[in-house]
Structure 1
């Protein structure tokens, strides 16, 4: 067994971990080691936007987690893939840049987390972002490492969808990351010059070139090393379950950035978590912390599909011979389906009158996937309108299935367990259906194919949701932030694990509540905020 020492050891190189490592590495006097369980981001599909569908379910680059079955998923296990490569889920996600609503973060601060209001976090959002396109400079970043661009590929069906939304009273919103989120428009995305802009190429790779940041890939963390109740390093295996055990020591701190599933898993493997859970898995209790693995939330989405007419959709463009033309356009730097995010247009709206802010998010694209065949486009022209509830009340958990560090944990988001979640999503499904039935879109809609016109009653639509609803892959909350007086809190407002010295968590698991958005932008912000918090504390000799 080999051992070496750095000032900081970071577990995970995803949205937060890569940014945190890069920011700490700006101080040339510090040394930082990043442990990544997966490989470097070498595969071309990790950089080609359309390549996400080729790697999303590839275990070489993803964790193939799934939910425990429940009544509200029709007894199904819902796939929950998470990134397992340099850049984490920013290397495989849907490329949407969506911060959420100011009220989300003001709510975090109001729960006893000083420094986490929207006004206080706005500099962290802006610091990462290089907004290429219109926007208020008071709210948008212009000089950060991550390009955030507008779509450069136009399609008449998308324009008709947005025009039709206006018929229903949904206004055009030129910048949902600006002063207000409500309305419809095109998504902003982390794509530039035809390539994905995850946190590996934008933050981690430049940091590695400075020489004081080291990335150890294929390094699976198996436990945190302690001196009493102080974290002093991380134990890991290089190259898989049969690999050599190694230890990397931290002079200052260990910072876990492994995501909402693997972060609570690693804490529990290290003896930090609910005592009953640890004992059941055969793990000695080092520090009983009831909130570890609790409060798991996710966005549960459902999609409606229509057969298209009078237009060539992505379904046809993504197949030969048209695909070859699209490839040539991409190589020439021209707009192409190879450089698109999966969802092109958005709507943010309220499920009932009188709400102060949207509680629904919807997505639209002139493309559709075969029922039951993830990633396989329909063999006819199609379009999809999907929807999910912004702030679900249902919550679940992540806990060890055993003491084997290479065994997947049990993951239970408890989708739709709360009655209000079913009510809001049902309204969202009906709104999505109305958006597919507008006058403006009518010239392009041949027929609704999923769930189909025969499905009308509330119980029929909920049954459809039960059978076809999927994760939006926005897992969070399993090491939630809060004061020590909150029995469910795992970290404080400085992201320090309660009751343990030298140990922080910085990723989506610390979110006190789910944001009204895709979670990537908020996770990147957490990486920036964590760097500020760490740098504000003098390094321990």
Structure 2
């Protein structure tokens, strides 16, 4: 058998792909290749939680996508950070372990994805999880590969934030993955003794000695080889060399909500007329590819404070900064343990039904009002996002004449209901900050600013400043309607054999929370489907 031929090829060593490759390669009689476009995750800036500030926008770890101008956000182009390293986005994210609400998955089942209801997926989440917190075992697992823990050394302001929730009638919540998401709390994180624990750390690094598993990093997938309705391989570019990798059984696309539809469209799978306009001969007319893009649109409140209790770059904080490396590498304590969004939670606006419709990510340090990654001084901030947006966008191909790229169009606020929810979310966030808990560290609200008070003024601020919390999903959705891309029972791409998609792109709707853990669950489900397929 050729060294460039495998039984299974998994594209994308991210949250889902690492799970798929682990499970498939557990059978020593099959050869598995895991392909990642990025490089090593061994840098200290990846391992140390506080290093996240050096990852966003860094071309060594981030694809650095930028969306198209958004008409409802003052024609601004929104950054779309996606992980480009072993571990994918789980190597650059904030490590928050959230699954979403039970009803999110029941909604998937209602939309035609039988077998994806909450009672179906909960055992999968539990199998993957190694919970170190002693949380309710009805909801949590203790024997899985994925470590789930509390932050090692939360900042005092993170704890103040949780107590301040009482000012907005928000209870303390120590487990957002149990019966209810409502309330504020310290987030559970995917860390191992204060060190980032990515999907690669959990599922691939421990099995690298498997002789039947090959990991190819810094390897770009150009397109798929399709013959007589079946995928037989893929074309790659690595170290300047183009090579075809053949597959005997199946290819699994786990390249994420941006790159999985891109690879499909590059391969002639997508809306036929749009492909022809890009000079691509359609092989399978599948109009849903790239459609149904959903993401969490986010607004921020940032406050300047003179208190050195907060994280910050200052002369007053110099002793703590100088001590931080020693504290971290000896005791796994101190400033370097922070993931910057140590606390957060969920609330209901006046537009919500039973479920929370906004999520908070609290930062116990100053978020620059000028958009800088790091700014001198102290403060604190809160991000508020719309949990279940109604605005739906799409991803399309474009070309500069030499090679193709993607156009990412979120269409944020194209549905006015999202704007209304986020305005109310900002009001709730302000009521948390108004709590007496913050009196000792209170400072000037820099954004939106104390004079921004009415709904129209807050909305104008959001149009000028809102971004995303980087949870794109839905662009290869599973379902049974005409716009579905994959079959819910198999995750096979409709109309072609030997090809599945297993990542956040298959979500029919965006779950209410962070998407790292749900993507791993999808990877586990996909692997079970493959292993149950006769070959």
The TM-score with structure 1 as length reference comes to 0.95
Cα drift, residue 436 of structure 1: 0.9
Unpaired runs of 5+ residues, structure 2, are none
Which of 365, 369, 375 is the matching residue for 1:371?
369
Which of 300, 312, 315 is the matching residue for 2:309?
312
* Number of the residue aligned with 1:200: 200
The TM-score with structure 2 as length reference comes to 0.96
1:536 aligns with 2:513: no
Cα drift, residue 403 of structure 1: 8.5
Deviations 1:161-219 (A, max 9, x none): 22221132111112111111111111111122221000112111222211211011111
State the distance in 1 between where 2:403 and 2:37 align: 11
Deviations 1:80-119 (A, max 9, x none): 0101111100000111010000001111111111211111
**Matched position secondary structure for 1:351:** coil
User: What's the Cα RMSD here?
Assistant: 1.7
* Number of the residue aligned with 1:161: 161
Which of 498, 503, 509 is the matching residue for 1:507?
503
* Number of the residue aligned with 2:349: 351
Identify if the C-alpha distance between structure 1 residues 353 and 216 changes in structure 2 by more than 3 Å, giving closer, same or farther.
Answer: closer
Which of 470, 473, 483 is the matching residue for 2:470?
473
Deviations 1:250-286 (A, max 9, x none): 1110111111111110000000001121011110000
Paired residues of 2:230 and 2:497 also in contact (CA < 8 A): yes
* Number of the residue aligned with 1:91: 91
State the distance in 2 between where 1:73 and 1:342 align: 26
State the distance in 2 between where 1:49 and 1:427 align: 31
* Number of the residue aligned with 2:405: 408
Paired residues of 1:401 and 1:407 also in contact (CA < 8 A): yes
State the distance in 1 between where 2:148 and 2:51 align: 19
Identify if the C-alpha distance between structure 1 residues 132 and 405 changes in structure 2 by more than 3 Å, giving closer, same or farther.
Answer: farther
1:332 aligns with 2:294: no
**Matched position secondary structure for 2:237:** strand
1:211 aligns with 2:207: no
* Number of the residue aligned with 2:276: 279
1:4-83 alignment runs, 5 A limit: 4-83=4-83
Identify if the C-alpha distance between structure 1 residues 58 and 404 changes in structure 2 by more than 3 Å, giving closer, same or farther.
Answer: farther
State the distance in 2 between where 1:219 and 1:380 align: 41
**Matched position secondary structure for 1:440:** helix
1:427 aligns with 2:424: yes
* Number of the residue aligned with 1:118: 118
State the distance in 2 between where 1:43 and 1:443 align: 38
Cα drift, residue 50 of structure 1: 1.1
State the distance in 2 between where 1:509 and 1:198 align: 19
* Number of the residue aligned with 1:342: 340
Identify if the C-alpha distance between structure 1 residues 31 and 180 changes in structure 2 by more than 3 Å, giving closer, same or farther.
Answer: same
**Matched position secondary structure for 2:331:** coil
Per mean C-alpha deviation after superposition, the further-off stretch among 161-170 and 15-24 is 161-170
1:265 aligns with 2:262: yes
State the distance in 1 between where 2:273 and 2:301 align: 42
State the distance in 1 between where 2:24 and 2:479 align: 24
State the distance in 2 between where 1:311 and 1:59 align: 32
Paired residues of 1:283 and 1:403 also in contact (CA < 8 A): no
Paired residues of 2:23 and 2:527 also in contact (CA < 8 A): yes
**Matched position secondary structure for 1:42:** coil
Paired residues of 1:39 and 1:218 also in contact (CA < 8 A): yes
State the distance in 1 between where 2:311 and 2:407 align: 36
**Matched position secondary structure for 1:313:** coil
State the distance in 2 between where 1:116 and 1:403 align: 40
* Number of the residue aligned with 1:295: 292
State the distance in 2 between where 1:354 and 1:26 align: 45
Identify if the C-alpha distance between structure 1 residues 383 and 354 changes in structure 2 by more than 3 Å, giving closer, same or farther.
Answer: closer
Paired residues of 1:9 and 1:234 also in contact (CA < 8 A): no
Identify if the C-alpha distance between structure 1 residues 127 and 374 changes in structure 2 by more than 3 Å, giving closer, same or farther.
Answer: farther
